[in-house]
Structure 1
Amino acid sequence: MITIIAAIGKNNALGKDNQLLWRLPKDLKHFKSLTENHPIIMGRKTYESIGKALPNRTNLVVSRKENWFAEDILIVSKLKEAIKFAKKIDEEVFIIGGGEIYKQTMELADRLEITLVEEDFEADTFFPKIDLKIWQKVNEEFHQKDEKNDHDFYFQTYEKINKDQ
């Protein structure tokens, strides 16, 4: 099972200048609860924006940059190698970003775990369009903004309609 997990704006915005565009602690808890104890795959820029390996997860970073190193992560030069390695560790693998990694894995993924932030954002990185001919929303949970979470948002789960696609 390959699951893509992302927080996006209504306009599919992911980030700007390698940073998130919102403050949603409830989403960070949700992300942790889903990905903990599973391998996670990310691009180098996403890793650099986080700044460290995420605990209680095998962190695989896809990078073509030679002589690049970071503590507590596995560096892999090709995305398919990262997926193959992650599947040896656990049946459930999470793709956590960024934009290019998401584009490359949309057709490989079985499930999408999307946090939809109810606002359009100015961004330089975007999530691929979710094609509703391929993906079916199977769950949605609304969360209203509050003193800790700056925006209204939804947790949405999509599953591939036809696994052969």
Structure 2
Amino acid sequence: MIAFLWAQDKNGAIGYKGTLPWYLPNDLKFFKQMTINNAVVMGRKTFEGMNKRPLPDRINIILTTDLNYQAEGVKIMHSREEVLDFAKDYSGDTFITGGAKVFSFFMDDVDVLHRTMIEGEFEGDTFIPEIDWTKWKLEKIEEGVLDERNKYPHVFETYARKK
């Protein structure tokens, strides 16, 4: 299965200056639960926004057009087709985790969307590409817990592609 996994504010912002525009531990925990022992695909800029540190206990795939790009502890791929071939043969799930350009490459290939919707408006310079929501059915919605560490109202949503 190939899925998108992202968090956004109500304006569709997903990033600001190479990082997340918010701090929401519940979402980080959700991300880890979903991706652990699976594969995550991200663009070079997203990876570099994480200080080029691979996520532990996951296959980290960095998608870049730079044929000379190197980083430790990750698989480097250079095309959408290369990622799709990997996902087809991989026994686990493959999560597309950003950034915006990478999401747009795989828009027609994903089966499931996992979105954390954060009720708020944040400064953003990177936005989730337009999604045709008529092609998706909401399967699950779960309210995120608000507490002293998780200050923004949020919900976890899972959508399946309509047949």
TM-score range for the pair, normalised by the shorter chain length: over 0.9
Q: Is there any run of 5+ residues in structure 1 with no aligned partner, and where? A: none
TM-score (norm 2): 0.94
Give the SS at the match of 2:109. coil
CA distance in 2, matches of 1:131, 1:15: 21
The 5 A counterparts of 1:56-95 are 56-95=57-96
Q: What residue identity is the alignment partner of 1:111?
A: V
The 5 A counterparts of 1:114-133 are 114-133=115-134
CA distance in 1, matches of 2:133, 2:67: 39
Does structure 1 retain, via aligned residues, the 8 Å contact 2:39–2:92?
A: no
**Alignment-derived partner of residue 135 in structure 1:** 136
Q: Is there any run of 5+ residues in structure 2 with no aligned partner, and where? A: none
What is the CA distance between 1:39 and its match in structure 2? 1.1
Give the SS at the match of 1:94. strand
Identity percentage of aligned residues:
38
**Alignment-derived partner of residue 148 in structure 1:** 149
**Alignment-derived partner of residue 27 in structure 2:** 27
Q: What residue identity is the alignment partner of 2:5?
A: I
CA distance in 1, matches of 2:25, 2:81: 31
What is the CA distance between 1:61 and its match in structure 2? 0.4
CA distance in 1, matches of 2:81, 2:140: 29
TM-score (norm 1): 0.93
Q: What residue identity is the alignment partner of 2:139?
A: V
Per-residue CA shift, 1:126-151, capped at 9, x if unaligned?
01233221011111111243211131
Give the SS at the match of 2:158. strand
User: Which stretch has the larger CA shift, 61-70 or 12-21?
Assistant: 61-70
What is the CA distance between 1:83 and its match in structure 2? 2.6
**Alignment-derived partner of residue 100 in structure 1:** 101
**Alignment-derived partner of residue 38 in structure 1:** 38
Q: What residue identity is the alignment partner of 1:4?
A: F
Root-mean-square deviation (Å): 1.3
What is the CA distance between 1:121 and its match in structure 2? 2.1
CA distance in 2, matches of 1:157, 1:109: 12
CA distance in 1, matches of 2:85, 2:42: 14
What is the CA distance between 1:85 and its match in structure 2? 1.6
Give the SS at the match of 2:89. helix
Q: What residue identity is the alignment partner of 1:72?
A: G
CA distance in 1, matches of 2:5, 2:94: 10
Give the SS at the match of 2:81. helix
